[in-house]
Chains A and B, each alone.
Chain A
Amino acid sequence: MKAIAARRHHRLAPVALLLLALLVTGGLYAALAPSAASASAPSEDDIAAGRALFQANCATCHGPSAEGREGAPSLIGVGAAAVDFQVSTGRMPMQMDGVQAQAKPPQFDAEETSQLAAYVASLGAGPAIPSAEQVDPALGDAANGGALFRTNCAMCHGAIGKGGALSEGKYAPNLGPSTPTQIYEAMQTGPQSMPVFNDANLTPEEKRDIIAFLGEQDAGSPGGTDLGAIGPVGEGIWVWVVGMGLLVACAVWIGAKSS
């Protein structure tokens, strides 16, 4: 102890202190932080807590034992992935009735979401929440993902996943703000209007390729602004209004008499 005290003015002392502080913080975080979407078999406590949350927040529409009612589907067998998607994107609990549940800031934190997911998963077997490795964009092949995206997803979500309109006010949302886990869960469970893409349709590797392709779109457009990336309509309006407007303004200026 005395040896350490004697060296407290050493010029490397702050460095050592900083390293120590970082180690302690990191260690404490690793020990205390809730592990992401604790996929490893949920405890009885989690399920009980999830049941309580369900009774308080979801049972009004989905029924006291999640059997479903008029306008609200049965949740037996939808799996943890469906719950994690719907609750972590804020779509459930639904704010208001409409053609489509809207994404909004989530109402439950990660722990409550995993408890709800554990409860619903305990009602019947369904797709589980994917592991971190299954949704890691770095492990996917973005080129193959692009080909799969154009075949299976682009007609609704647009060529680079910025969303698009469906019928009667429904729409395919922008995938930019979605996390890789949410994208995987959406493919696996087919929320609302979206069809299901199970592992026979798009294998787990193919789903990861699609996630890698969408991750590449975060870098933005190499040509500057992407004008919403909604295709020729947005670009056409820009050219006709701004481009032609500037040309007309120049023509008026050239033709006007100087004062």
Chain B
Amino acid sequence: MSNEQSSTDLTVSGAGTSPAAFQDPGMPPHQERMADKDPAAAKRAERQTVVLFAVSVLGTIGMLVAYFLFPSGDTVESMRTSNLLLGLGLFLSMFGIGAAAVHWAKTLMSDHEQAEARHPQKSDPETREAALAALEAGAKDSGIGRRGLLKGAVVSAVALAPLTFAVPLVGQVGGDWNVSNFRHTLWERGRRLVRDPSGDPIRAADVTIGSAYHVIPDGLREGEHASHWIEEKAKAVVLMVRMDPRDLTEAEDRRDWSYEGIVAYSKICTHVGCPVALYERQTHHLLCPCHQSTFDMADGAKVVFGPAKRPLPQLPITVDDEGYLVAQSDFTEPIGPSYWERLK
């Protein structure tokens, strides 16, 4: 055993009570197992192992029986029964073998302690010198020190080759680096507010006090944005509620953004962009389920609790000639969480 090095490593200098070097304590005294001393115990351990293997066999048979007798049919009950029985059978089948193998090894297989010493990983000095000499000889033979052009060529080739997979990999990250996409949504002057997901327009007169409407822009799946309508929807979703106008506190410059107590706010949390929609009618609070940011819908969607920093952006709304709710414009600030270029 080459434990010279480890014993020197362990030397503690300056500590008076510690020994100069720790001795290898060696193996603890061997303790005989019951199965080694008592033939009856050995027999018992054998029987236990057999029982565990038998459990596995029964599990396998049970699973096969369940597979044929309880197929997963059309009803939820039959699926549940099938899944439960298949899973139980599979578990017993696998776990029985594993447990039996461990029990067998622990109680019946040979029980003598073995120690394998740790060797230093460093090669001996002769081998190291020979390796260095071989490398040097190779470099000398290639003439890389003398032929500068060759050196430049090999460095260029090796350095450029990784681009063959790096460029497509970066390309996969996404081709659209135009961050101003976050600044604009589908909302524009005169675009109707419609119900999600049916797309029915909403008459202001039908919105009773206490109502909450989940709103998307009209014509979401038409026109140039039809191919990426789901991204446009993710930016444009709005929660619209109506409350008693006397409960509403409005900033001077937003007085005409609501319509007779109907207010509409972006449904994307300004914290990390979860959809905020847990509206409590009595308190007018809007709770985000992800991190409990709470916004006061009666007071400009100001943050009253939680990690969000900014109020939810408000959608200015009004009604058109037919009495349907329409947007006055797009949101006047980027929706969703902060990002570097947000205020540029």
Residues in A lying within 8 Å of B, measured CB to CB: 147-148, 151-152, 155-156, 164, 166-167, 170, 172, 190, 192-198, 200-201, 206, 219-224, 253-254, 257-259
Contact = CB atoms under 8 A, between A and B. Distances in A.
B33 A258 contact: yes
A167 B287 contact: yes
A259 B211 CA distance: 70
A175 to B, nearest CB: 16
A224 B84 contact: yes
Interface string B206-230: 1111111110000000000000000
A216 to B, nearest CB: 8
Contacts of A195: 210-212, 241, 279, 281
**B35, B76, B241, B305 pick with most chain A CB within 10 angstroms:** B76
Interface of B: 31, 33-35, 72, 75-77, 79-80, 83-84, 87, 102, 106-107, 111, 195-198, 202-203, 206-214, 241, 275, 277-283, 285, 287, 289, 292, 294, 305
Given A195-B211, A223-B80, 11 more contacts: A166-B280, A167-B287, A192-B282, A193-B282, A201-B213, A221-B80, A222-B76, A223-B79, A224-B80, A258-B35, A259-B33
Nearest to B241: A195
A85 B197 CA distance: 28
20 contacts: A151-B197, A155-B277, A166-B278, A166-B280, A167-B305, A190-B281, A192-B281, A195-B279, A196-B208, A196-B211, A197-B212, A201-B195, A206-B198, A219-B77, A220-B76, A223-B80, A253-B102, A258-B33, A258-B35, A258-B111
A151 B285 CA distance: 19
B45 to A, nearest CB: 9
Closest 5 CB pairs of A and B: A200-B206, A195-B212, A222-B79, A219-B76, A193-B280
A152 B214 contact: yes
A155 B210 CA distance: 17
B267 to A, nearest CB: 10
Contacts of A224: 80, 83-84, 87
Contacts of A155: 275, 277-278, 289
A171 to B, nearest CB: 11
A73 to B, nearest CB: 9
A147 B34 CA distance: 65
A176 to B, nearest CB: 14
Contact of B283 (A164, A193, A223, A257): A193
Contacts of B77: 219-220
Contacts of A192: 281-282
A57 to B, nearest CB: 23
A72 to B, nearest CB: 13
A159 B60 CA distance: 36
A194 B80 contact: no
A224 B78 CA distance: 11
Nearest to A198: B208
A155 B212 CA distance: 13
Contacts of A253: 102
A201 B76 contact: no
**B275, B278, B294 pick with most chain A CB within 10 angstroms:** B278
Contacts of A197: 211-212
A254 B100 CA distance: 11
Contacts of B241: 195
Contacts of A219: 75-77
Contacts of A257: 31
Given A147-B197, A167-B294, A259-B34, A198 B281 contact: no
Contacts of A172: 278
A192 B285 CA distance: 13
A193 B283 CA distance: 8
